[in-house]
Chain A
């Protein structure tokens, strides 16, 4: 597996929840926004986007915290 931890726990959970909500909406709302694409594939795409986005925010916040920390 990967040697470096790429993203934290919060982005992963956020990606999971958002993707599930999208899949529930598309499935039960009988919404055909994506033609004949499998709903699971759409959910996976949303998941990756949210995980990457939240991961970048998490990294930026961590850098800002490190930069503003006063060395003792």
Chain B
């Protein structure tokens, strides 16, 4: 067994164990489990919301998009600050409503605010079903990402399968035990290791191949000038603009189900406002994997799989133990967001689709959904694996596809706000 594989498995188990440390006893009710009893402070909130920004898509997908689409990848930089500027103003109201009316999901909000019991229930259920159906591939993406990471660095399909199963059984276990608090504890680790790893990579890779970041961009300008401009093709100006606007609307209007649990878990609205003030600064780190992607333009052939460019360059530059740490960081960006997504999916099913009357019943439906959702995502991964004989995926494409529907749904629901403006002002 190689050094990288050993470190990767130790990392998977370590992340799982950290998740269990989020809580001494299992949560007794759904409010405690889903939104941490609405007592989450500023530091934990920072890591929970940062977890939404830095996923496998950001870590591997952004490097891949910069490699294949050049400067078009920069679309991911402005939408988070734009969205957080909007959320700075509306999050306080959403939080207050959530606390007063007991919301745990976006479906709860829609049902309550639609101003009609029948239409409210219909829109709540509809948004919940769409949320579950179209966020499930996002969960599948995280599992596939984990398998792909292990396969890229070991070249071994069996290790990839084992790591996917072990990793996600551990995620299910700690999510069932600790809920949102488990996600919070693992987020501390994920963000710490990821930042260290990205800083090392944006120094080591450009220095190794081009003598530094400025020299690297000068060479790209000489050899591949098209990579530094938006040009005709799949990632043209229209794609850039529309993807940025839709992503900004999506985040600003809380379209993704797993955005709600962190927001509703805040101890007070000031915690959220502090986060929305400073988080855009942290969002600049999204540029780090892009720099690695630009370095890859000079080094790798055009036929290289875009998803694997970050890990491929890492293997060429760093010793095996350091590659192992980078793999652990990449695995963390798959496991931790997956845990948050599971909470989003299961609470939607328990609160807005199945609708059991007793709190206990709702709690068990929720926990059953965590297991079923993960099993279903694993089956989807296995099916795609059977078709392609390798856990292939295109992070940027899948992320865009699976998030466009709930995002549209919520952009539409923004209009519902005008229908409720009187009570809103009151």
Contacts and interface: CB of A to CB of B under 8 A. Distances in A.
Interface in B373-426: 400-401, 404-405, 407-409, 411-413, 415-419, 421-422, 424-425
Given A2-B418, A41-B242, A41-B245, A16 B404 contact: no
A45 to B, nearest CB: 10
Given A1-B425, A3-B425, A12-B419, A20 B116 contact: no
B249 interface: yes
Contact of A1 (B116, B238, B404, B417): B417
Interface in B248-279: 249-250
Main secondary structure of the interface of B (DSSP, over half): helix
Given A5-B422, A44-B411, A38 B123 contact: no
B424 A47 contact: no
Contacts of B119: 9-10, 13
Contact of B246 (A20, A35, A44): A44
Nearest to A44: B411
A47 B255 CA distance: 15
B413 to A, nearest CB: 7
Nearest to A52: B415
A48 to B, nearest CB: 8
Q: Which of B234, B239, B416 has the most CB of A within 10 A?
A: B416
A51 to B, nearest CB: 5
B236 interface: yes
A47 B411 contact: yes
B126 interface: yes
A6 interface: yes
Interface centre among A9, A40, A41 (most CB of B within 10 A): A40
Contacts of B123: 13, 16
Contacts of A6: 418-419
A19 to B, nearest CB: 5
A44 B404 contact: no
Interface in A30-49: 35-41, 43-44, 47-48
B242 A37 contact: yes
Interface residues of B, number: 38
Contact of A39 (B116, B122, B130, B404): B404
Contacts of A40: 242, 246, 249-250, 404-405, 407-408, 411
A13 B122 contact: yes
A9 B418 contact: no
Given A3-B425, A5-B421, A44-B408, A16 B250 contact: no
Contacts of A20: 126, 130, 405, 408-409, 412
Interface in B89-128: 114-116, 119, 122-123, 126
Nearest to A39: B404
Given A5-B418, A38-B400, A40-B246, A16 B238 contact: no
A20 B235 CA distance: 24
A64 interface: no
Contacts of A23: 404-405, 408
Query: What 9 pairs between A and B have smallest CB-CB spacing?
Result: A43-B408, A38-B242, A40-B246, A36-B239, A40-B404, A16-B412, A41-B242, A47-B412, A2-B421
28 contacts: A1-B417, A1-B421, A1-B424, A2-B421, A4-B421, A5-B422, A8-B419, A9-B119, A12-B412, A12-B419, A13-B119, A16-B409, A19-B409, A20-B408, A20-B409, A27-B405, A36-B236, A36-B242, A37-B242, A38-B239, A38-B242, A38-B400, A38-B404, A40-B404, A43-B404, A43-B405, A44-B412, A47-B411
